[in-house]
Amino acid sequence: MRFWDSSALLGLVIQEKESHKLDLLSQSDPDISVWWGTRVEGASAVSRLEREGKLESKEVEQSLHELIEMIQAGNEIQPSETIRTNAVRILRMHPIRAADALQLAAAFQASEGHPPSLEFVCLDARLSLAAAKEGFQVLP
């Protein structure tokens, strides 16, 4: 099982530069773990692409449907006081946004407090750097 950041998960449903690498990662280990807020972050990104004219309405519906299916088939890390506390610690240590800190804290929870035991799939450069500094092996 790998932890998938929202940015990487979207690369599986929307064609991007890194999509081929993400497809290979997904095929080699289809078990995913995601943060509880991934569905909202995904919907935000897909909606932004629609507003920018980069996705048609049919593509938006298909992308959102595929995203929800992947999340439901995976392990969704639910909110908790531990995650919130770790997210605050992470924000004090790394220059990332609040949602990214919550994702990283959820990955920490999924790793049962041992980041080297869980691969972290991410396309966001700042979040990838923070995850690596926390001890995760960052892919791709």
CATH number of domain containing 49: 3.40.50.1010
Q: Into how many domains does the chain fold?
A: 1
Per-residue pLDDT of the chain (140 residues; tens, 9 = 90+): 999 999 999 999 999 999 999 999 999 999 999 999 999 999 999 999 999 999 999 999 999 999 999 999 999 999 999 999 999 999 999 999 999 999 999 999 999 999 999 999 999 999 999 999 999 999 99
pLDDT in tens, 53-88: 999 999 999 999 999 999 999 999 999 999 999 999
Instruction: Decide: residue 36, CB within 10 A, 0-12 exposed, 13-18 middle, 19+ buried.
Output: middle
Report the alpha-carbon distance of residue 79 to residue 72 in Å, rounded: 16
Alpha helices in the chain (DSSP H): 6-13, 19-28, 38-51, 57-73, 81-93, 98-110, 125-134
Q: Could you list the residue range(s) of the whole structural domain that residue 96 is in?
A: 2-139
